[in-house]
Structures are given as structure tokens and as C-alpha cells.
Amino acid sequence: MTTHQSNDFVGQRFPRREDQYLLRGEGLYLDDLAEPHNTLHLAFVLSPHAHARILSIDVSEALEVPGVVAVLTGEDFVSLIKPIRPNIEMPTYLYTDRLALALDVVRFVGEQVAVVLAESKYAAHDAIELVQVEYELMPAVVSLEQAISEGSPVVHEHVAGNIAFRGEFASDDFATKHAAGKYRLRERFRHGRVSGSAMEPRGCMAVPIRGEEITFYTSTQIPHIVRTEIAKHVIGCSESALRVVVPEVGGGFGVKAQLYTEELISVALCLKYRRPIKWVQDRREDLLTNTHARDHIYEMEATFDERGVLTSLELELYTNIGAYSSSPFGGTIETTGGARQIVGPYKLPNYAYRCYAVTTNTCASGVYRGVAQPACFMAMEGIMDRIARQLNIDPLEVRLRNIVLPGDMPWVNVLGVRYDTGSYQKCLELARERSGYEDFRRRFPGSRLKDGKYHGIGIGNMVELTGTGAPGWRVRGLQAVSGIDGATIRVEPTGKVSVFVSQANAGQGHFTTFAQIAADHIGVRPEAVTVYEGDTASTPFGTGTFASRSAITGGGAVIQAAEKVSNKIRRLAAHELQVEPNDIVLQDGRARVASDPSRFVDFEKLCLLAYSLGKGALPPTEVYGLEATEYYDPPVVTVANAVHIIEVAIDAIDGRVAIENYYVVHDCGKVINPMIVDGQIHGGIAQGVGEVLMEEIVYDEHGQLINASLLDYLLPTALDVPDLSTLTIDHVETPSIDSLGGFKGVGEGGIIGSVAALTSAIYDALEGIGANVNSVPLRPSHIASLIRAARQSAPDPEATRAKQELTAAH
């Protein structure tokens, strides 16, 4: 499919169209939407127990609160909403259905057991505290380690040993090859549990329209999936009568790329009471009930040769999926994700994994920016660092000796995943040269202790699977995630262009980037293009925005639709100017004759024909209208890559980590808008810093979540991220040969690289004194205890380092 690119707006630093109204405070987020006068506000009664039987619920007192219209419990919804079951077809996968409201058993702190409907939000919050629920406590299992141990309590009777899914893979003859490995090392990596914590908690509002229809506003990243899933689960809700509209979304990060019980409940109650229903989540509910992420254990054994080249890797991966699997991605998304993506940019010949999705009495854990990749690359880069240490080879050199080389591409890895194009070698070499890496090695040949601080430099060499289409999701067993995205492009009668895309942005600048793409392929200026998203009534069906897909899938659909429209414009112009369509070039809203540019016709004139306005007539071979709808399903996953190099200084006493230098070189294929790409990387880096140094959802051993506020769930501030003088971002553009437009995704690259590189840097700083850094988060208290323990056990840490230098000298 050749594309007649007549402009080059793609690739320019176009300022964002979204900024005007957002800066003025005119962006309407969910809670800002005008509420119809008779709106009922919802508030939920949350379980204070991790595992308990509900004996009784007394709502009498709550009903007396002025303004309270009704208080409903699990029984009321049995006839309204079907249990949520993510449509996953994977061998050994055991469904852990989720009811809209708990019926007889609650399985995590925060699970909803009753809902109050009131005339005002304040009254609703008054009433929930008067609902008396009597529980009978049941044994709870909370940590991953506990859940997989002998005789652990079980979350669901039918999920024996809390194993909801078991996946495995072994490359051929793995056992013998693994046994034959020359050098061997084992390591266990532990990643804590985090929360996406977008600045805007979730919320939704269902408004009855013309009796039977409902317009459902919700802060989501997947409007079309939500619409279909609501229609499938809410009894009496017909999909054609349901319109899902996405207001401004205050950050998503994957947490809002899920179907939630409150969305089903709001629509069901709107049908039942024929009144608008509004629910706005508060921060405590966000931290308690919005899907968490990570909480993984990686048990790894790697073999390698004397040059540090990996010969085999065996992985046992446990992921904590909480009490119910999230929907539509289910509990396996991080389990298969971690196991399949850990191979990264390396040529690993022999690989075997066993991966387990483990249930516990905690909130569901699933998709958040990076989805398992930050954790699995922390582990893989940890293996690379340990190979380097064991053989005394430079860690960056070890990576260079393991990566897929340009000549090998397109490369199909040991799992059959195809890497179309990539710049692994180039980025590593650029990083070595421009990040100050070699200078650091010169400055710190031996001891890393200087002025009371341990200095270290870490490497995060990673790939990011982006733009996953239908095949990619089916391999992972996901049936409800279609994989395609759609775009309708319409040239209006005055020649302006409307673009309707199935995506739903949460700040990624789609109104600007898709306008750039459409403008290039239709031949208008971006200012003449208006992009519409997040409205199932106007946009074609599609999967939505998550997992760094929009540039590829949305972009591809826009290109295909734009090509169709521009071909028609060329035909109409050719007819007007009596030339061949191929002799027409479209630019700035004009169709010019390529061989004689002085002859041209404006789009508007052609549009009059297309819409039967004015005196002209369509050529007989043409039909009315000037629009096209196209769906794009990328044939295979496109693989972006990046290298993060971070230099840190760790205070030997208070264990605090200062980022001294941060270098990134990123390759996300053809860049649509470099300004927006850099913004995505900055945001990912900050979340990575948070994930490694301070963020953790903490459950006590009884299943109580004990940091359900931002006072205790710490998010990084402007002082925690690298400042302007220490951050350098370089770009390499290796266009994808698989995806239309050559785009690759970038949404998650920043967090994946920074989690891997920052953990590697702290490991590098402390491994010399014998401290083993193999887990996150790494709070100052934990780092200080690692240093104290290492200093006590190693008689003279500097001696051990010197001894190492000696052995390397042979």
C-alpha cells in the first residue's frame, strides 16, 4: 500500500491543541460534567475485612438520612448484573468471577458490600457509615509467599493452592542444554505492589435519554470495550441504546483501561430508577480498589559462557493477581507478560519458564504502565549485571555481547516473537559514549565510597512490545480485547477534515498527533483537522488506548482512512482538471496538477460535488459523500527499544538515593511529535523513580491495606526526578517495517527503562561491599539496612573488591 505523503507534519514538534482549554481550567473531567437536577449520587460501603462471610446487613439507619433514596446490597444486584468473568481462554485458567456487590463472602479489604443512593454526595457519605454489616471472619491469605506455601488459606474453593493459572514453556531439549551451561548463577528478584494513582480518581455518570437510551460518561481508556461489556453484563441494557462518552481523563496509565463494578452498577441503577446516576471515587477508594500492579517473584537460573554470553535461562515467575482477576485483561496479563517479555533484546537461545497467577485476599492486580515489563527487565538486567560481576567483565560490554545485532533482524526470538527492526547495538554504543558511562568507570575503578556516598551507574537496556493487534492478544488467551482500532475520516462540505478514532486519550495529545497524520495523508494543514475520540456514537469500534498502542493502531487506521479519502479527492480533481488521478498532488487543501502546478482546484469546490451542493455534478462513476472508515490490525507486535543509564549517589548512613546523571536514548520508530514523545518518556521516568524508591501498596499480614492515602502512599515530586541539567534524551528512529507509518509505541518505554536502570545503578553502587540489591521498592531504610549488614559481615569491603581486581587481571 503506497502512501502519497505530500506533507511532512508527522515528525514536527507541533504545539498541542489540547493546551488552550486545559490551561484555562475549561477541561471538563468526569466530576465537572453538569449534573441533571434529579441526579442520584452513589457511595459504597466497603468491607473492612480481607476475608469474611457476610452474616447480615442492616440498612435501616442509613435510610433515615435525609436525602437518601435507597440502600442496595448484593442480593439486589443478582437480578440486575451478571458476574464479571474476563473472557480468557488459556489452558489451566480458573475463572474467579466478580459480583457487582459481594453477596455472601468478601475477599479483599475495600470490596463493596452495599451502595447508597442519595440526592447529594454529602448525604451519601453520611449514610454509608450507618449501614451495619455483620461479618464472620475467615482466614485470609495476603502475601504471594504465603499464598504459594503449604497449607495456606484459599481465596476461592475451586482454585486449589491459590493457583488460578499455570503457564509453561521450554525451548527444545532445554534440560540438557541448560545442564550443559559453562557458568551458572541463580537469583531471586522481588517486585513490590504499586498503584497507578492517576491524579484524577475514577468516576462515572449514567444519564437516561429519551426513556430507553443511556449516555454513560466514564473516566476510561477503553470506551468501546466498556460499552460492549456493560451490555453483556447489565440485564436489560441493549448495546445499541448505550452510548459511552469519555470526558477529559485526568491520567489513566492502564488503571482506567479496565471494566469496573461501579460502571455496571451505575448503568443498572440508571435503568432501574430512570434517573441520572453519578459516582465519583475518592483517593482512599482509588488506592483500595483500583486495580494494583506488579507484586511478582522471579526465581531465575542463567547459564553463560566465559564471554558472558547467555546460553540458557530458566524462570519461575509468581504474580499476585489478588482476589478477582481484572477485566478484560484477567489475571494472566502480567503472568504471561513477565514470562514472555523477559527475553528482551537478547539472543537467548534456550529458555524455559513456569509462571503462576496466584490469588490472594487483596485487590485485583493487573495492568499499569509497562505491565510486567518494568519488573521482568529489572530481573533480566539484574542477571546481566551479575554475569558481569561474576566474570569481571564490564556490564555494558556483557549486554553488547548478548543483544540481537542489526544483521540478525528481523529476528524471531526463542518464544517466536518477531522483532521487526531495532537499534539495540547503536543505542548501547551511543549510551556508552554520551552518558558519561566510561568516565564513571574511570572515576571509580575500585571503591565506590566517596564523601560518605556510594556511587553507582546502572543500565536499563530494554525493548517494549507495542501496538499489539488481534494475534498478540489471542496468543495471551484474551478474547474480549479485539486488537483492532478504527478511524472514520470525513471531509466536510467546507473542506475541513473530521477524524473520528476509537482511541481514548488521557493526556497523550491525540488531538494533535492524529491531526498531524491525517493532514499529511489528505493534504491539508493540521489546523484544518479536528480529531474526535471517546464517544462510541461517533467513533468506529476499536480497542482503545493502553499498552503503547495508539500511534500504531490508531495511526494505522487514520492512514488507511486518509488514503481512501485522498484517493477520492484525487479522482474528483482529476475529473475537474481533466488529468489522470496520479497526476494530482494534494497540499494545503488544494489539488494541484503535478506536471503543471499552476492548475489546481480547492477542496471546497470538490466537496460541493461530493455533497450535491451548488451546480456541479459528480462524475457518474462516483457516489456522494467524502469519507471512509478503516480498521487497522497490526500484523505483528512492533518492538521499540531504549537504553537508560543512571548514575546515583547513595548516602552511606541515611540510605537516600540522589540521581546524579540520567541519560536515555530511545527508538520508537517514526516519531510523530518529538515534543510529545519526550513528554511520555519524562512521565515514565518519574513513575519509574517512584516505583523503585518510594511507592508501595502495603498490606499487613491480616490483609489490611495500611497506606490508603497519599500521606503514606508516596508519589515522586519535582525534587525526586532528574533535573534539567542531569537529564539527556537522545532519539534514534528505526521505522517499523510491520506497522503502517513505521510508528512504534512509546507510552511505556520510560517506566520500563527507569525501573531496570535505577535498580541496576543501586546494585552497582553496593555490590562492591557485598550488598545484594534484588528487590523494589528500595526505601532509604531498606538500603541503609543493606549497607549496615554488608559492613558488618564483610571484614574489609575494599579488600574483597581489590581481590576481585586481581583475579580479573589473569
Partner 1 sequence: MELKRVQKVEAPHLRVWEALNDIEILKASIPGCESLERIDDDTLHAAVKIKIGPIAAKFKGVIKFSDLNPPNSYMLAFEGQGGAAGFAKGNARVDLTPEGPNATALSYETSAQVGGKIAQLGSRLIDSAAMKTATEFFENFSRALVKEPVEESGSQPDATQPGISESMASVPVQTPPPSSNRPLLIGIGVVVIAALVWYAFA
Partner 2 sequence: MSSIETTTVELVVNGKRYKRQIEPRLLLADFLRHEIGLKGTHIGCAHGVCGACTVQIDDKTARSCLHFAIDVQNSEIKTVESLATPEKLHPIQQAFHESHALQCGFCTPGILMTTEEFLRGNPNPDDDEIRKALCNNMCRCTGYVNIVKAVGLAATSMSAAENE
Partner 3 sequence: MKPAKFEYHAPKTLDEAVNLLGRYGEDARILAGGQSLVPLLNFRIFQPQALISINHCAELAYLRVEPDGLVCGALTRQAEAEQSADVQDTCPLLSAALPWIGGVSNRNRGTVCGSLAHADPLAELTAVAMALDARFSIVGTKGRRQASAAEFFLGDLTTCIEPGEMLEAVHFPRSGKNASAAFVEVGNRWHGFAVVGVGAHVECDDVGVFQTVRLSAIGVGSTPVRLTESEKILQGTRGETQALQEACNVAAVDLDPPGGFHADSAYKSGVLGTLVERALNETQALRLQKEAR
Which residues are at the interface with partner 2 (CB under 8 A)?
Answer: 15-16, 18-20, 22-29, 31-32, 122, 196-201, 248-251, 253, 282-283, 506-509, 675-676, 678-679, 681-687, 709-711, 715, 717-719, 721-725, 727, 750
DSSP string, 580-601: -GGGEEEETTEEEETTEEEEEE
Our CB check for partner 2 shows the closer of 21 and 625 to be 21
Single out the residue of 184, 389, 788, 791 in contact with partner 3 (rule: CB under 8 A).
788
Which of the listed partners (partner 2, partner 3, partner 1, none) does 776 bind, with a CB threshold of 5 to 8 Å by partner kind? none
Q: Does 656 bind partner 3 (CB under 8 A)?
A: yes
Our CB check for partner 3 shows the closer of 267 and 280 to be 280
DSSP string, 466-491: ES--HHHHHHTTBSS----EEEEEEE
Which of the listed partners (partner 2, partner 1, partner 3, none) does 704 bind, with a CB threshold of 5 to 8 Å by partner kind? partner 1
Q: Closest separation between CB of residue 334 and partner 1, Å? A: 25
Our CB check for partner 3 shows the closer of 606 and 783 to be 783
Which grid cell sits at 178?
A: 541448560
Our CB check for partner 2 shows the closer of 623 and 711 to be 711
Q: Closest separation between CB of residue 76 and partner 1, Å? A: 18
**8 Å CB contact between 593 and 584:** yes
**8 Å CB contact between 171 and 414:** yes
Q: Closest separation between CB of residue 601 and partner 2, Å? A: 36
**8 Å CB contact between 202 and 246:** no
Which of the listed partners (partner 2, partner 1, partner 3, none) does 749 bind, with a CB threshold of 5 to 8 Å by partner kind? none
Q: Does 693 bind partner 3 (CB under 8 A)?
A: yes
Our CB check for partner 3 shows the closer of 16 and 193 to be 193
**8 Å CB contact between 597 and 584:** no
Q: Closest separation between CB of residue 137 and partner 1, Å? A: 7
Q: How many CB atoms lie within 10 A of CB 472?
A: 21
Q: Closest separation between CB of residue 161 and partner 1, Å? A: 25
Binding site for partner 1 (CB under 8 A): 45-46, 48-49, 109, 128-135, 137, 284, 288, 700, 702, 704-709, 711-712
Which of the listed partners (partner 3, partner 2, partner 1, none) does 543 bind, with a CB threshold of 5 to 8 Å by partner kind? none
Single out the residue of 654, 701, 723, 805 in contact with partner 3 (rule: CB under 8 A).
654
Report the run of H or E that residue 280 belongs to, with start and end: strand 277-280
Which of the listed partners (partner 3, partner 2, partner 1, none) does 781 bind, with a CB threshold of 5 to 8 Å by partner kind? partner 3
Single out the residue of 121, 399, 510, 575 in contact with partner 3 (rule: CB under 8 A).
121
The angle, 0 to 180 degrees and rounded to 10, between the axes of the packed helices 749-766 and 373-391 is 30
Restricted to residues 760-779, the positions that interact with partner 3 (CB under 8 A) are 779
Q: Closest separation between CB of residue 60 and partner 1, Å? A: 13
Our CB check for partner 1 shows the closer of 45 and 427 to be 45
Report the run of H or E that residue 698 belongs to, with start and end: none
Our CB check for partner 2 shows the closer of 282 and 583 to be 282
Single out the segment in contact with partner 3 by CB under 8 A; choices: 549-557, 632-640, 764-772, 784-792.
784-792
Q: Closest separation between CB of residue 248 and partner 2, Å? A: 7
Our CB check for partner 2 shows the closer of 389 and 682 to be 682
Q: Does 263 bind partner 3 (CB under 8 A)?
A: no
Distances, alpha carbon 72 to alpha carbons 83, 84, 112, 159, in Å: 17, 19, 11, 29
Residues 6+ apart with CB under 8 A from 151: none
Q: What is the 3-state secondary structure (H, E, C) of 76-108?
A: HHHCCECCECCCECCCCCCCCCECCCCCCEECC
Our CB check for partner 3 shows the closer of 527 and 701 to be 701
Alpha helices in 234-325 (DSSP H): 261-273, 283-289
Which of the listed partners (partner 3, partner 2, partner 1, none) does 131 bind, with a CB threshold of 5 to 8 Å by partner kind? partner 1
Q: Closest separation between CB of residue 726 and partner 3, Å? A: 14
Q: Using the 8-state DSSP alphabet, how is residue 713 labeled? A: S
Which grid cell sits at 420?
A: 521487526
Cα dihedral 593, 598, 603, 605 sign: negative
Our CB check for partner 3 shows the closer of 93 and 713 to be 713
Our CB check for partner 3 shows the closer of 588 and 720 to be 720
Which of the listed partners (partner 2, partner 3, partner 1, none) does 635 bind, with a CB threshold of 5 to 8 Å by partner kind? none
Size of the site for partner 3 (CB under 8 A): 31
Which of the listed partners (partner 2, partner 1, partner 3, none) does 684 bind, with a CB threshold of 5 to 8 Å by partner kind? partner 2
Instruction: Report the alpha-carbon distance of residue 304 to residue 789 in Å, rounded.
Output: 30
Residues 6+ apart with CB under 8 A from 9: 515, 516, 517, 519, 520, 525, 526
Residues 6+ apart with CB under 8 A from 122: none
667 half-sphere exposure, CB direction, 13 A CA radius: 27
Cα dihedral 63, 66, 70, 74 sign: negative
3-state helix, strand, coil in the chain (%, to 5): 30, 25, 40
Q: Which amino acid is at 487?
A: A
Residues that bind partner 3 (CB under 8 A): 121-122, 125-126, 129, 282, 284, 653-656, 693-694, 696, 698, 706-707, 709, 711-712, 714, 716-717, 719-720, 779-781, 784-785, 788
